[in-house]
A and B are shown apart, each in its own frame.
Chain A
Amino acid sequence: MNPALATEAGSAFGRMLSGAVITLPMVAAAMALTLLIGVALGALAGSGSLFAEAVVARLAELSSALPPLLIVGLLHAGRLLPAAVGVAVVLGVARGIELARLVRGEMSRVGAEDFVSAARALGLSRLRLLQSHVLPHAFAPVLTSASLTAAATVALDAALGLFGLGSTASWGGQIAAGVTRGALPDIVWPSLAALLTTGAFFALAEALSEAACARRRGAP
């Protein structure tokens, strides 16, 4: 192997490791916000209140009108927030609203199922109905969406870097720098790290989903 290439690959690997200090907290914060906002708003919208449903619908329209790339770019250009914080907050909120719509959709679907009608006929309160019958069945898409937030965070960070508006030290920034300079190691290592991180979140989401399903069926 060419020693210069090996050195370059080695230093790119080192940069990837140091980039994890920025990227992983960014991903974790974005996911936490996504779950918090998505489940709370989605449950509210799916609970039967037309007002709450209209509010979520308007929020979804607002979120789809302001692409995160634009907002984070503006916050960064206006020096109102550092790029990494901007990505976590803006993406967390935007994907949270997106997730809320998904949860609402799932709750509409599950709410029309026979077992929910039966539970309602038995006199269960709206909160109990949500907690015990509706939300557990909407668990799978919630976890899938939350796990995709990890990928979306790195993707947005890389897109911002590509337009010269993001952090240069994060994985996304390193990928963007690699794409701009044509430096393969700078693309490969952070991409692999992003792939592994997202893959790990996918696996975790699936394991949690399986566990929830097993619990619902009463399996040990």
Chain B
Amino acid sequence: MRSPLRRILWIVPTLAAISVVAFWVLTRSLGPPAALELGPSARARLAQLPRFINPNPRTVRDRAREATEAVAEGGAAAESARAELARLGGAALPHVLPRLDTLRPAGRVRVAQALRPVARRMGVGSAAELDSAEAAVVFWTRFWQDRAIDFRPAVMRRLVRRAIERSTDLRGEDVRELDTYALPELIAALDAARGAAALPVARRLSQLLSHVTGLPWAIEENTSLEQSRALVVRWQTWWTLNQSDYVDFDGPERALAMVTETQYGKWATEAGRTRFGTTASGEPVLDVLLDRAGVTLRLLASAWVGGYAAGIGLGLLAAGLRKSPWSLAAPRRWQKRALALLVVAFAALPSAVLASAFAPASSPAHPFRAAWIMAAIAGAIVARYQESASREALRRETTRTLLAYGASDLRAALRTFRSAGSSAVSLLGVDLPALLTAAFVVERCFGLRGLSEPTLEAILVGDVAWLMALVVATTLFGALAQIVSDALLMRLDPRVAVAAALKRGVPE
């Protein structure tokens, strides 16, 4: 009992290690993962991040400082720096306004004027205060003297919570005046607003988010529940990607950001936050996976149950009825040899040939025929192993003694099953990839709605989120199959369990 339990606990680090390797392979082939609905800019943004470790994660503090310096200096880079300051918005103010006094007068004026779009978005300052160079500097200096206290996490959280509890224009304005500084709490509140009852709250939050970011993803009065969910997922995905532009990391957060501010970290965060991310068509990956996995799992189950039962039976029969299909000198009947050749044929023919030969020419799909094909493919391979192991067992001294006492080959093969069955049982855990490939082929030939279609699409469009989810699912499934396989192996031959216990130093 302890061994399976230990193996189950091992799944967690194994899963983490495999996800790292798989992520490396996938991103090396397909490029960085990105929520495809956010467009190519999201992918370009992710491509700038390191894959696994970011020794120096950039936050709003770094971005605001660089933009402020570039704006203050003037020159060619000033234009894009002004746009960057406008994008960073309220979140940049705690890092820009306290430094205004340290800048040279000309630079101070340029920075104050660059913040004009932010002030308009926040709804603060009149045209006279913002348009004139000198007045803008005075305005921002006074603004920070009066309002610096609002740009603290506790105050921001309170203001957002109040705006959620009761929707009034005044409370909405309070949040709008914080601009992008309120984003972490707005997104957290959106995460918590689930279900139809929370739709009005989600609507209010999305409108505030849309206002401060300028992104067109507000939930309107006439937006359906499904569309609203998709928009919420889109906001969450956007936040996973852009969070570090609007927050600053300190202490342990900064250490954690060395992992989270990477391509892998972004994928893992999005996987946890938004049901394994979104597919190329914009649906949550986990929803599509659960919807389509049924067909593929049924095919795999028919391969394991039907295939193993038939394969072990056929293998024993093939080993018991004759010595070898290739020893032509042996006086054997043709039908006995035909059985062995049938096993060889099924094991050797590509699944594409078998599936296309038995697939219906037109719809509707035939799930039972598909299951039968899967059982035949798996059964042929198992039969081949079982036959080989049983024939080996028939050559042992003990079995030869049994044969000398007059037992038939078949009876002797059955008697040796407990020790000769280990090859076939070992296969249970390891032939999942081959069976998954066969299942994909069968789905394709039979037109079944399984995992093959989205997987192919994911390979072609570079949907890393889907492929990572598939890898995680197959890892879990494969690990569980191997645990079952090992448990069966020990059950079949108790000496294996004793040997394993001795290896671990457990007294016999």
Report whether A74 and B430 are in contact in the complex, using a CB–CB cutoff of 8 Å.
no
B104 at the interface (CB under 8 A from A): no
- Which 7 interchain pairs have the tightest Cβ spacing? A78-B29, A64-B478, A198-B348, A112-B495, A65-B475, A105-B426, A155-B350
Question: DSSP majority for the A interface?
Answer: helix
Contacts A109-B495, A194-B348 supplied; 12 other A-B pairs, CB < 8 Å: A61-B475, A80-B29, A101-B430, A112-B493, A144-B423, A155-B350, A179-B353, A187-B356, A197-B348, A198-B347, A199-B344, A209-B392
Q: Which of B356, B462, B467, B493 contacts A109 (CB 8 A)?
A: B493
Knowing A48-B503, A60-B482 are in contact, say whether A198-B467 is a contact too (CB < 8 A): no
Closest beta carbon of chain B to A68's beta carbon, Å: 6
Closest beta carbon of chain B to A124's beta carbon, Å: 17
Q: Which of A64, A108, A198 contacts B344 (CB 8 A)?
A: A198
Contacts of A164 in B (CB 8 A): 456
A-B contact pairs, 27 of them (CB 8 A): A50-B503, A57-B482, A61-B482, A63-B430, A64-B482, A65-B18, A65-B22, A66-B21, A66-B25, A69-B433, A70-B467, A74-B26, A98-B431, A108-B499, A109-B493, A140-B391, A144-B384, A151-B349, A156-B437, A158-B441, A159-B351, A162-B444, A175-B353, A176-B352, A195-B348, A198-B348, A209-B392
Knowing A60-B429, A105-B422, A111-B499 are in contact, say whether A69-B444 is a contact too (CB < 8 A): no
A8 at the interface (CB under 8 A from B): no
Q: Which of B26, B345, B432, B456 contacts A163 (CB 8 A)?
A: B456
Report whether B459 and A165 are in contact in the complex, using a CB–CB cutoff of 8 Å.
yes
B189 at the interface (CB under 8 A from A): no
B14 at the interface (CB under 8 A from A): yes
Closest beta carbon of chain A to B282's beta carbon, Å: 22
Knowing A64-B433, A206-B326 are in contact, say whether A108-B496 is a contact too (CB < 8 A): yes
**What class of interface size applies to chain A in its complex with B?**
35 or more
**How many angstroms between the C-alpha atoms of A68 and B435 in the bound complex?**
11
Knowing A60-B429, A109-B422 are in contact, say whether A70-B470 is a contact too (CB < 8 A): yes
A-contact 0/1 string along B413-425, CB 8 Å cutoff? 0000001001101
Contacts of A206 in B (CB 8 A): 324, 326, 388
B445 at the interface (CB under 8 A from A): yes
Report whether A75 and B350 are in contact in the complex, using a CB–CB cutoff of 8 Å.
no
**How many angstroms between the C-alpha atoms of A28 and B260 in the bound complex?**
44
Report whether B430 and A60 are in contact in the complex, using a CB–CB cutoff of 8 Å.
yes
B465 at the interface (CB under 8 A from A): no
Contacts of B28 in A (CB 8 A): 78, 80
**How many angstroms between the C-alpha atoms of A20 and B505 in the bound complex?**
52
Scan residues 85-132 of chain A and give those whose CB is less than 8 A from a CB of chain B.
94, 97-98, 101-102, 105-106, 108-109, 111-112
Q: Which of B347, B392, B419, B437 contacts A159 (CB 8 A)?
A: B437
Report whether B388 and A94 are in contact in the complex, using a CB–CB cutoff of 8 Å.
no
Report whether A195 and B345 are in contact in the complex, using a CB–CB cutoff of 8 Å.
yes
Closest beta carbon of chain A to B182's beta carbon, Å: 41
Report whether A194 and B350 are in contact in the complex, using a CB–CB cutoff of 8 Å.
yes
Report whether B352 and A155 are in contact in the complex, using a CB–CB cutoff of 8 Å.
yes
Q: Which of B351, B356, B388, B444 contacts A155 (CB 8 A)?
A: B351
**Cβ-closest chain A residue relative to B435:** A67
B64 at the interface (CB under 8 A from A): no
- Scoring B347, B381, B425, B472 by chain A CB atoms within 10 A of each residue's CB, the highest score goes to B347
Knowing A70-B470, A148-B347 are in contact, say whether A179-B459 is a contact too (CB < 8 A): no
A202 at the interface (CB under 8 A from B): yes
Number of interface residues of B (CB under 8 A): 74
A211 at the interface (CB under 8 A from B): no
**How many angstroms between the C-alpha atoms of A131 and B21 in the bound complex?**
34
Report whether B326 and A148 are in contact in the complex, using a CB–CB cutoff of 8 Å.
no
**How many angstroms between the C-alpha atoms of A164 and B462 in the bound complex?**
15
**How many angstroms between the C-alpha atoms of A140 and B394 in the bound complex?**
12
Closest beta carbon of chain B to A46's beta carbon, Å: 10
Closest beta carbon of chain A to B268's beta carbon, Å: 16
A24 at the interface (CB under 8 A from B): no
Knowing A64-B433, A108-B496 are in contact, say whether A78-B30 is a contact too (CB < 8 A): yes
- Scoring A143, A150, A206 by chain B CB atoms within 10 A of each residue's CB, the highest score goes to A206
Closest beta carbon of chain B to A197's beta carbon, Å: 8
**How many angstroms between the C-alpha atoms of A62 and B482 in the bound complex?**
12
Scan residues 41-75 of chain A and give those whose CB is less than 8 A from a CB of chain B.
48, 50, 53, 57-58, 60-71, 73-75
**How many angstroms between the C-alpha atoms of A152 and B479 in the bound complex?**
22
B-contact 0/1 string along A134-175, CB 8 Å cutoff? 000100110111001011101111110111110000001001
**Cβ-closest chain A residue relative to B453:** A163
B-contact 0/1 string along A192-213, CB 8 Å cutoff? 0011011100110011011001
Report whether B352 and A66 are in contact in the complex, using a CB–CB cutoff of 8 Å.
no
B192 at the interface (CB under 8 A from A): no
Report whether A105 and B423 are in contact in the complex, using a CB–CB cutoff of 8 Å.
yes
**How many angstroms between the C-alpha atoms of A27 and B384 in the bound complex?**
19
Contacts of A207 in B (CB 8 A): 326
Contacts of B423 in A (CB 8 A): 102, 105-106, 141, 144
**Cβ-closest chain A residue relative to B461:** A77
Contacts of A80 in B (CB 8 A): 28-29
A-contact 0/1 string along B433-452, CB 8 Å cutoff? 11011101100110000001
Contacts of B431 in A (CB 8 A): 98
